[in-house]
Amino acid sequence: MGTAEIGQGAIILAFLAALVSAVVAGIGARTGSRRFISITRISVISIAVLYSLALATAVFAFLTRDYSLKIVSEHVDSSLPAAYALSALYADKGGSVLLWGWLISLFSALIASRKHEYDNSILPCMLCVLAAIQLFFLAMVTFVVNVFEKNPAPVAEGVGLNPLLQNVAMLIHPPMLYLSFAAVSVVFAIVIAALITHTPGAQWVRWVRRWALFGWCTLGLGNLIGMWWSYNELGWGGYWAWDPVENAGLMPWLLITAFVHSISVQRQRNHLQRWSLVLAILTFEFTLLIPFITHGGIESPLHGFYGSHFPPYILAVILVTLAGSLGLLYMRRKDFQKDERSFTLISREGASEVTNIILVLLTAVILFGTVLPRVVELFGGTQIAIDRSFFDRVAGPIMLLLVFFMGVCPLLGWAKTSWQSVRSNFVFSLLATLLVVVIILIVGGGKWYLISAAVCSFPVFTILLEWFRRAKARHQDRKENYLRASLAMLNSNRPRYGGFLVHIGIILITLGIIASSFYSAENMVSLDVGQSMKVGEYDLAYDELILKGSQTKVSAVATVSMSRQGRHIGNLYPENNYWFSYMDTFAEVAVRTTPAEDVFVSLVWTSFDQQNKSVTIRAMINPLVVWIWVGGGLLLIGGVVAFSHQERRDSQYKDR
Amino acid sequence: MRKRYFVGGGILAVAVGLLVYASLGSAVSYYLTVSELLDRGSELYGERVRVAGKVVDNSIEWDADTLKLDFVITEGGEDLLVVYEGARPSGLKEDSNVLVEGEYRSDNTFQASTIILKCPSKYEPQE
């Protein structure tokens, strides 16, 4: 029995186990029988074991370059390093689904093995939903794309992995996204189970919180790593192009961001429950939508790996689950009537609700721009394209509004805020912001610097001020020094201060995006050895070109010496590689990063001829780009801080 | 109480709707094949369009010194000369499918501002 048979067998057994789990869990949920619940738990864990076996065989086939399997021969060759051979698994459409489904099975097994965390009434129901989701994924890897399909004839050497995917970011980016999608499935399962079993909001929100935060954090980081890859690998000098595949990753993130905020209101105030439920359902549907959107994206061959036979199935599943979930929500409408409380618009609930609405509108607009060309094509016949200026113009202002709201929220209290209580903070922050604006006016900078500085510094000041005020109170009460007081404060309310850290991260990202969008400089010229070019305030001299051959490619490495105002700063070594397997060239950019700006150099053209060393170099100065990645780091830290807060089982809700 | 939210949400939605409406016009371009473009001919002069076609054999001319690139794309038996200023994109080869975005000019050439390569989703090894 070969690898293919073992893998295929494990998948089929996992499929049967998922079928059993769904049925048994259903019976367990209906009857509440402990025996059925125990059987469900065992069978859910067995799905994960079988799934792991299937994944392990696939990984083994990749590492040993077992070219008898189609998936292996199509994505790797013998010269590929082992780490990339591993990532080649999810360069394949079937491999991606396998990985995605496997993570869902792991999370389901985790839930099944921690029975004390969830009530016996909701646990079988959750496992039933999760088993149904797994059935869908297993059906895809069994019937739609067969991961373990064999090559009809022996193959001596594989095709190899697309050079653009041979980048460290591509080892992390896809698994991060699948981790988050799997967590979103769990969120969906909890929410649906809660609706079915009439579980009160105060209870399910406790179970869902960490899964949602985990999904939010991994999706955010996954997207940022994708941006980093785009910037450092694709060589066009940007990191975001409003490409359908990027939008497909952004939309569920915006929705889950809204969800995380609305459950935080719900957790504290038991409000916004229905809204949270809708968001959870929508987020889940959007994660399923991703393969539908990325399919056939001619603009993005790298993501075009979802086969043409996927979409109809997926669209049908999305529509059915969406209709079913919303129908269920409608049937349970009477559950929510009791605990609505009133609050005014100028309160934290009010501001949260407005932020939520804005996030959903933003998602809707991005969805509109992404699918409009397809819809027009489907109904009108003519083909149209929407270029990125649409997204820039629409999403830009909405995102700035969101950043502004980050500054408003910390000022407000729950339920009702009196003007007196916010006035001093508000006035102080506003004055500080004005000061920043005045400084920029004096120092000089364009109107976009001005607008962004104003919008970004206001929330920074309100957040820092709130932090300082609390730390000061602690300092006075307990005689702790400020650092200690800050840390203790952070520890005492991790969700809140984790959120503050995330907000500062988002503001840094915003600054980086605005500065690099409006103030980058670019120049592209062809140079001979000894000639130099100017970009921004920098002089770039082309000193030397070295050609190196290897088994897989010929590399041309240019030495570019950088100087600023006559002072030499350092050398950059942009490359251009000719890959034999692709019969094509791929540039590897060289970037010098400082807190103020990146010098980005790409060797876009060379003849690969020892005699003719002339090259075409594209150079850019991209201000403040590094702050996008620093902001991403804060996102992670803030996410971990908020995640580390664990609610006790018996915790009573404030104000309840 | 509820009403105020619907009004507030409604105002936001209308504002966003206006923003969409204002931004959409200039961002939409026709997406045509070479033969469709030539059929409509002069009515498209000066318009922003995207055109898809296949690069004709031996038509790629690239001057590294002036960074000028031109090539002919074909589809449905008709040819279009594409003129571009900038780096030659890697992957631009004879017979490859490309998508060019830019302006159709009155001299019946196409001034491309962006060249997008339509790669086959799966790389097939040469037999």
pLDDT by residue (tens digit) across A498-527?
A: 999 999 999 999 999 998 998 899 999 999
Taking an 8 Å cut-off on Cβ atoms, the answer to whether B23 and A390 are in contact is yes
Pick the residue from chain A with its C-alpha nearest to B14.
A361
- The pLDDT score that the predictor gives to residue A308 is 43
| pLDDT tier for residue A307 given thresholds of 50, 70 and 90 | very low
- The pLDDT score that the predictor gives to residue A340 is 57
- The pLDDT score that the predictor gives to residue B43 is 85
Determine the residue among A386, A583, A586 to mutate to test chain B binding: the one whose Cβ has the most chain B Cβ atoms within 10 Å. Answer: A386
Instruction: Look up residue A143 and give its two tokens.
Output: 């019937």
- The pLDDT score that the predictor gives to residue A559 is 97
Bridge partner residues of B110 (DSSP): B82, B104
Which chain B residues are Cβ-neighbours of A384 within 8 angstroms? 28-31
**Identity of the residue numbered A88:** A
- The pLDDT score that the predictor gives to residue A1 is 66
In a domain? residue B9: no
Q: Mutual orientation of helices A93-113 and A34-63 as an angle, nearest 10°?
A: 140
Which chain B residues are Cβ-neighbours of A585 within 8 angstroms? 90-91
Res. A292: pLDDT tops 80: no
Q: What whole-number distance in Å separates Cα of residue A577 and Cα of residue A557?
A: 8
Determine the residue among B2, B21, B23 to mutate to test chain A binding: the one whose Cβ has the most chain A Cβ atoms within 10 Å. Answer: B23
Is residue B49 classed as helix, strand or coil in its secondary structure? Answer: strand
Res. A627: pLDDT tops 80: yes
Where are any strands of DSSP class E within A484-527?
521-527
User: In the predicted model, what is the mean pLDDT of residues B87-95?
Assistant: 79
pLDDT by residue (tens digit) across A179-198?
A: 999 999 999 999 999 999 99
Taking an 8 Å cut-off on Cβ atoms, the answer to whether B125 and A159 are in contact is yes
Pick the residue from chain A with its C-alpha nearest to B12.
A358
- In this structure, the dihedral spanned by the alpha carbons of residues A331, A334, A339 and A342, taken in order and rounded to 10 degrees, is 90
Let me know: does B62 contact B94? Beta carbons within 8 Å: no
Which range has the worst mean pLDDT, A86-95, A494-503, A570-579?
Answer: A86-95
How far B20 CA lies from chain A's nearest CA (Å)?
6
Q: What whole-number distance in Å separates Cα of residue A153 and Cα of residue A160?
A: 18
User: In the predicted model, what is the mean pLDDT of residues A480-490?
Assistant: 86
Which range has the worst mean pLDDT, A124-128, A254-258, A421-425?
Answer: A421-425
| pLDDT tier for residue A143 given thresholds of 50, 70 and 90 | confident
Pick the residue from chain B with its C-alpha nearest to A604.
B87
ipTM of the complex: 0.84
pLDDT by residue (tens digit) across A12-33?
A: 999 999 999 999 999 999 998 8
Q: What whole-number distance in Å separates Cα of residue A470 and Cα of residue A468?
A: 5
**Identity of the residue numbered A249:** G
pTM recorded for the entire structure: 0.92
Mark out chain B residues that contact chain A at CB-CB < 8 A.
Answer: 1, 4-5, 8-9, 12-13, 16, 19-20, 22-24, 26-32, 50, 64-65, 67, 86-88, 90-91, 93, 99, 101, 116-123, 125
Q: Closest to B118 (Cβ–Cβ): which among A298, A364, A384?
A: A298
- The pLDDT score that the predictor gives to residue A651 is 47
| pLDDT tier for residue A452 given thresholds of 50, 70 and 90 | confident
Let me know: does B103 contact B47? Beta carbons within 8 Å: yes
Res. A654: pLDDT tops 60: no
For A32: left if phi > 0, alpha if psi spans -120 to 50, otherwise beta; the answer is left
Q: Which of A185-189, A344-348, A511-515, B52-56 has the highest mean pLDDT?
A: A185-189
| pLDDT tier for residue B30 given thresholds of 50, 70 and 90 | confident
pLDDT by residue (tens digit) across A144-173?
A: 778 899 998 888 888 888 888 899 999 999
β-strands B48-55, B28-33 pairing: parallel
Q: Closest to B19 (Cβ–Cβ): which among A387, A394, A587?
A: A394
- The pLDDT score that the predictor gives to residue A155 is 87
- The pLDDT score that the predictor gives to residue B70 is 92
Res. A636: pLDDT tops 50: yes
Instruction: Look up residue A629 and give its two tokens.
Output: 């990645």
| pLDDT tier for residue A437 given thresholds of 50, 70 and 90 | confident
Domain that holds residue B46: 29-118
Which chain A residues are Cβ-neighbours of B123 within 8 angstroms? 74, 159, 162, 582
Which range has the worst mean pLDDT, A89-98, A101-110, A320-329, B118-127?
Answer: B118-127
CATH class of A521-628: mainly beta
Let me know: does B3 contact B17? Beta carbons within 8 Å: no
- The pLDDT score that the predictor gives to residue A345 is 66
| Residue written as token pair 């318009």 | B47
For A608: left if phi > 0, alpha if psi spans -120 to 50, otherwise beta; the answer is left
Which chain B residues are Cβ-neighbours of A609 within 8 angstroms? none
How far A28 CA lies from chain B's nearest CA (Å)?
40
Give A642: exposed, middle or buried? Use CB within 10 Å, 0-12, 13-18, 19+.
buried
Q: What whole-number distance in Å separates Cα of residue A424 and Cα of residue A414?
A: 18
Bridge partner residues of B118 (DSSP): B97
Tell me what the pLDDT averaged over chain A comes to.
88
- The pLDDT score that the predictor gives to residue B96 is 81
Determine the residue among B123, B124, B127 to mutate to test chain A binding: the one whose Cβ has the most chain A Cβ atoms within 10 Å. Answer: B123
- The pLDDT score that the predictor gives to residue A583 is 81
List C-alpha distances in Å: A462 to A306, A459, A473, A503, A558.
Answer: 45, 5, 16, 11, 48
Taking an 8 Å cut-off on Cβ atoms, the answer to whether A526 and B99 are in contact is no
How many domains, in total, are found in chain B?
Answer: 1
Percentage of the residues of chain A whose pLDDT score is greater than 90: 55
CA–chain centroid gap for A97, Å, is: 17
Taking an 8 Å cut-off on Cβ atoms, the answer to whether B12 and A358 are in contact is yes
Bridge partner residues of B111 (DSSP): B83, B103
Which chain B residues are Cβ-neighbours of A604 within 8 angstroms? 87-88
User: In the predicted model, what is the mean pLDDT of residues A201-206?
Assistant: 88
| pLDDT tier for residue A416 given thresholds of 50, 70 and 90 | low
- What CATH number is associated with residue B92? 2.40.50.140
In a domain? residue B11: no
Taking an 8 Å cut-off on Cβ atoms, the answer to whether A357 and B29 are in contact is no
In a domain? residue B106: yes
Q: Closest to A526 (Cβ–Cβ): which among B23, B30, B67?
A: B67
Which range has the worst mean pLDDT, A6-10, A85-89, A619-623, B27-31?
Answer: B27-31
List, in sequence order, the alpha helices (H) in A32-122. 34-63, 70-73, 82-87, 93-113
| Residue written as token pair 């086969």 | A307
Neighbours of A339 (CB within 10 A): 15
